Structure 1
């Protein structure tokens, strides 16, 4: 199906590829793991899904530039190998990168694991990248400011929209992963050995990354676990919670008009609303 893209990737690797297999979990892209005869692995991202494909050149380029800027740091990110941003050779915007070790483990919510996640995020926020990434973008667009049909506390959501209709608080510009959460972390034993998916890297308030990870933890494990993660980050960094960014992130999970929701599991929807209740000032 992706023969041209795989041939392009092979041309950028030092050793013959003997195995190609799909990776699961990506919403925007087809992700293929390539293993060569040296024993090393690489990953080919092909941005195939809309609306991301329309912006695929920008997304793939941002990920490549970011990974190159992280090479000299201790952040366990993949290493960029080759880029075909317009898909001239591959048929889709493409980025070839190294395969980092580990496997996703979204079940973890014990205090030790949450502290490790918070520690990695604190390290990411210490990165000084040149050039600095783009300014952050809110995913809580005004078009999303509609009380969802499944909501049990409509006033809660309206209060969230009212808060977002005010000016955002001042912040110190910080290097952000911008999609930081358990879904993008790889573990080997008790150690985080990979952080992937750098297409949304931005400059913005540190708490926006904390908020996004907290929301994702809340969806999986409930808001108490999310609060424990946020508290672990504050203990490590001294950075205090700023509810505006938490609310922005929760509202960002709502679908824009005419689009299907990201998820429709009643348990997760209830957890999202409960999390909003906990973070709304």
Structure 2
């Protein structure tokens, strides 16, 4: 087997498990680490086919003990989501196999098809991508599964929020008061629950080619839930604010509505969901920003991202509070 990266080698038990789920005469001939994941190791596997050609699969393995302890739940739900998405217009991977309790692998693992495209985290072209993201999220929310996924879960409370150093204390105090209120009523939708630029693949043509960017895939369906469309929109808004600047976070909800999506009507209800996600991000800024730096956005230090989060939360309170 040829490794494109010394850290890319698939562990023996996992390799044997993968091999059992290949077509007759196929074998793994190469592996490559895919960067950007927060909770799991991701690898692209090159498969030599029986006719001498190649195809690619993706292997996700949860090696961190904390996340591995929850893998039976998350990996137990993702196969259902991927099965549901087959035959829809939403470009998602196709499930090959899953071992959520590491019965056959060294760690909980999921094997799926590889989608074309790449994640795009640069500021250049963000205006076009924001609209594409909004349109794709509207399509996801339009799905009506025969069996609903579990109700959404939020873990952040007023007591767990981490106020960034030097933040606007008054704005953050007011924002924290917002999430002390009961959650607004809502019309349920099928949610991705981690829809953000790091989980969307694009085909971006070269400059001056005359082509237009398009979405080629949406990945990481482990947190699929049932809940308000506002929650998915808020999550993508927060990520856009930290990755590209607060103005893009504030812009995304507008883009979602322009694409045909429907959000809460009352400003205080919109504020609840937007603020809740922004405050939730305060607890894991270091986790959110790390893959961006690994992908080349080295200027997005933890401090820089905290400053953007402060500006975004303050902007929300000024706009909707």
When the two structures are superposed, what TM-score results if normalisation uses the length of structure 2? Answer: 0.82
Name the structure 1 match of 2:88: 73
1:145: how far off?
A: 3.2
Aligned to 2:304: 267
CA RMSD of aligned residues (A): 1.9
Matched ranges for 1:212-231 at <5 A: 212-231=235-254
Contact 1:254 1:262 in 2 (8 A): no
1:100–1:193 Cα contact (<8 Å) kept? yes
**Cα deviations across residues 65-92 of structure 1 (Å, max 9, x unaligned)?**
1101100211111011111111010021
Q: Which moved more, 1:170-179 or 1:230-239?
A: 230-239
Matched, 1:161 2:189: no
**In the TM superposition, what whole-angstrom CA distance separates every residue of 1:126-176 from its partner, at most 9, and x where no partner exists?**
11123211111114234413534x132112111111110101111101000
Distance 1:146 1:25, change over 3 A: closer
1:262/1:70 Cα in 2 relative to 1: closer, same or farther (>3 Å)? Answer: closer
The alpha-carbon distance between structure 1 residues 141 and 5, as it changes in their structure 2 partners (threshold 3 A), is farther
User: Do the aligned residues in 1 keep the contact of 2:157 with 2:180 (CA within 8 Å)?
Assistant: no
Structure 1, unmatched stretches of 5+, are none
Distance 1:261 1:104 in 2: 17
Aligned with residue 247 of structure 1, among 275, 280, 283? 275
Q: Does 1:27 align with 2:38?
A: yes
Q: What's the counterpart of residue 58 of structure 1? A: 73
Check conservation: 2:286, 2:302, Cα contact below 8 A: no
Unaligned runs of 5+ in 2: 1-9, 205-212, 265-269, 290-300
Runs of 4+ with >4 A deviation? 259-264
Change (3 A) 1:238 1:75: closer
Number of residue equivalences = 278
The residue number in structure 1 matching 2:153 is 137
The structure number with the bigger radius of gyration is 2
Structure 1 length-normalised TM: 0.93
Check conservation: 1:42, 1:99, Cα contact below 8 A: yes
